[in-house]
Amino acid sequence: MVARSSKPAPPPRVATNKTALYLRVSTEEQDLGGQERELRAYAASHGWEVVAVYAEKASATGKVEREAYQEAIGVSQSSNRPWDHLLVWSLDRWSREERFSKAVLAIENLEARGVRFHSFKEPMIDSSEDGGANMGRDLLRAILPVIASFESRRRAERVRVAMREIKEGFRATRSGLPVGRPRRLTPELVRRILDLRQEGLMWGKVAQFVCLPVGTCRKALQIAREEEGRGLTPATPSGGGLGSPSP
């Protein structure tokens, strides 16, 4: 027979009007005061009492630990936390996630603990008053990937048009250089490589002299042979053919 605990289950937590603020800016030069004033005024207009402020200056790149953020998350997981509302300036101040769906998942994790999330700049993603589904948030989660896909296709089409116009000579690149990676084997380098080979140097030594990989140096010989086969003037040393010394 399984023994049952006589200890009664704790009563469900009753939501209060106590609120925490989370503030973040990306650089030391920026001021957190403006965010705090706006959020305090917003909280007061809703009858919420601000009992905690988590503030930090940290970039969203993920290279710097966000101590205030971690502290707020830790407190939210406590059954006796001093607040039930979390008010932030905007979603991108709270979450580092690039995808809206992942950022919303972080909000839903808070809501699962009984915390109501509020964004000053994006009230459409706030936790609902009755704790139910947020229709505005669900709508955004559904349509934003479609918009992102549409924008991606438009960018790809613009790139294709630009590349075609550059190749046809109707447009120049921003740098003024030709499209693509710069050529490693210039005619001068091809001649230099062939000269070194005619002197009897091994491919490894040739590569050291011209500061190129061995495979690229070998390609110089192939280029010269192809030019000779097409009847072009081969890039060879004067008086020498394309016969190569032993490797």
Question: pLDDT tens for residues 3-38?
Answer: 554 555 445 555 689 999 999 998 888 889 999 999
Query: Same domain for 52 and 77?
Result: yes
151 located within any domain: yes
Read off the pTM: 0.54
Which pLDDT tens digit goes with each residue over 98-143?
777 788 888 888 988 999 999 999 888 888 776 666 677 777 666 6
Strand partners, 61: none
Query: Same domain for 174 and 189?
Result: no
238 located within any domain: yes
7 located within any domain: no
166 located within any domain: yes
191 located within any domain: yes
Look at the chain and report how many structural domains it folds into. Answer: 3
Query: Same domain for 40 and 112?
Result: yes
164 located within any domain: yes
Query: Same domain for 124 and 156?
Result: no
Tell me which residue range forms the domain holding 245: 183-247
90 located within any domain: yes
Query: Same domain for 91 and 140?
Result: no
